[in-house]
C-alpha cells in the first residue's frame, strides 16, 4: 500500500521534476531498511564504535552532564533510591502508560496483602544507562561481565520506559508470584526486581532469560 502511494508523484510536484520523484522509492527503501535494522536489533551486533547510538551517548558524555541534560534526575535517576507512581520524576512520568497502569493495579492489590511496593528504577535516558554500564565495567572489570548485570543503551527496555525495577525483596517475590495477573513478568533470572509488560493479564509469562546479556 505504501509502495503504491510512493510510485505516484504527489499532485503538487510538477512533471518537470519527475526524475527527482523517481528517487523516492529508493529513499523510502533505505529508510525502511534502516528502521528494520534498528527494530530487529542489528545495532547491538555492530562493533560499539560503529553504533550511532553509542557514539551519540559518548558525545553527550564528553560534553558533560550539564550539556547533555540527560543524566541525574533528568536522566531518570531516582534521588532517594525509591519512588512511587505518584512522584513527579522523569523516571516515573517517562514510563509507558500501560506499564504504569499494570504496576498501579499490582501495588493496590499487594497493599491488601500488606506488601510495600517501591519503584527503584523506571524510565532512563540513554546517557544514564551508559553511566550505569560504565560503572558496572569498572566494578566487574570488563564489558562482557558488566553486560550480564547492566544492559547497554541499545538494548535496555528502561530507555523506552518499558521496564521497572521493584523493591523491596518481598514485593519482588509477591510480583514473581502474581505479576502475570497484570501482564507483568520477571525477565532475567538474575534480576528478581526487573519487570516488563510481556503477557496478556492472566496469561503465562515467557521463559526467562539467564541475564541481561542473554
- Which positions touch Zn ion (CB under 5 A)? 163, 165, 194
On whether the CB atoms of residues 92 and 150 are closer than 8 A, the answer is no
Rounded to a whole number of angstroms, the minimum distance from the CB of residue 188 to Zn ion is: 8
- Compute the distance between CA of residue 155 and CA of residue 152 in angstroms, rounded to an integer: 5
Q: Which is nearer to Zn ion, 24 or 148 (CB)?
A: 148
Q: Which is nearer to Zn ion, 62 or 80 (CB)?
A: 80
**Residue 161 φ/ψ region, left for φ over 0, alpha for ψ in the -120 to 50 degree band, beta for the rest:** left
Rounded to a whole number of angstroms, the minimum distance from the CB of residue 15 to Zn ion is: 55
- Compute the distance between CA of residue 100 and CA of residue 92 in angstroms, rounded to an integer: 8
- Compute the distance between CA of residue 88 and CA of residue 188 in angstroms, rounded to an integer: 28
Rounded to a whole number of angstroms, the minimum distance from the CB of residue 163 to Zn ion is: 5
Q: Which is nearer to Zn ion, 28 or 170 (CB)?
A: 170
Rounded to a whole number of angstroms, the minimum distance from the CB of residue 192 to Zn ion is: 11
Q: Which is nearer to Zn ion, 163 or 198 (CB)?
A: 163
Q: Which is nearer to Zn ion, 107 or 194 (CB)?
A: 194
CA-to-CA separations, 50 to 25, 63, 66, in angstroms, rounded: 27, 20, 25
Alpha helices in 44-185 (DSSP H): 52-63, 65-68, 90-93, 97-112, 126-140, 143-146, 169-178
Rounded to a whole number of angstroms, the minimum distance from the CB of residue 210 to Zn ion is: 15
Q: Which is nearer to Zn ion, 147 or 194 (CB)?
A: 194
Residues in the chain: 214
Residue 197, Cβ density class (10 Å: 0-12 exposed, 13-18 middle, ≥19 buried): buried
Rounded to a whole number of angstroms, the minimum distance from the CB of residue 158 to Zn ion is: 6
Contacts of 74 (CB under 8 A, 6+ apart): 90, 125
Amino acid at each position: 500500500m505504501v509502495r503504491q502511494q510512493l510510485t505516484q508523484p504527489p499532485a503538487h510536484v510538477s512533471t518537470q521534476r519527475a526524475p527527482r520523484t523517481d528517487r523516492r522509492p529508493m529513499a523510502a527503501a533505505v529508510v525502511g531498511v534502516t528502521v528494520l535494522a534498528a527494530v530487529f536489533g542489528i545495532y547491538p551486533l555492530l562493533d560499539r564504535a560503529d553504533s550511532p547510538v553509542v557514539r551519540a551517548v559518548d558525545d553527550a558524555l564528553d560534553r558533560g552532564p550539564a550539556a547533555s541534560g540527560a543524566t541525574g534526575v533528568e536522566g531518570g535517576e531516582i534521588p532517594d533510591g525509591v519512588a512511587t507512581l505518584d512522584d513527579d520524576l522523569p523516571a516515573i512520568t517517562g514510563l509507558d502508560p500501560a506499564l504504569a497502569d499494570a504496576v498501579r493495579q499490582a501495588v493496590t492489590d499487594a497493599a491488601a496483602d500488606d506488601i510495600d511496593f517501591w519503584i527503584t528504577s523506571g524510565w532512563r535516558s540513554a546517557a544514564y544507562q551508559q553511566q550505569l554500564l560504565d560503572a558496572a565495567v569498572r566494578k566487574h572489570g570488563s564489558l562482557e561481565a558488566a553486560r550480564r548485570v547492566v544492559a547497554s543503551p541499545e538494548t535496555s527496555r528502561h530507555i523506552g520506559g518499558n521496564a521497572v525495577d521493584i523493591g523491596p525483596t518481598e514485593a519482588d517475590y509477591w510480583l514473581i508470584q502474581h505479576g502475570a495477573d497484570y501482564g507483568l513478568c520477571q525477565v532475567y533470572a538474575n534480576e528478581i526486581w526487573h519487570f516488563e509488560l510481556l503477557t496478556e493479564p492472566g496469561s503465562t509469562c515467557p521463559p526467562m532469560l539467564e541475564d541481561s546479556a542473554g
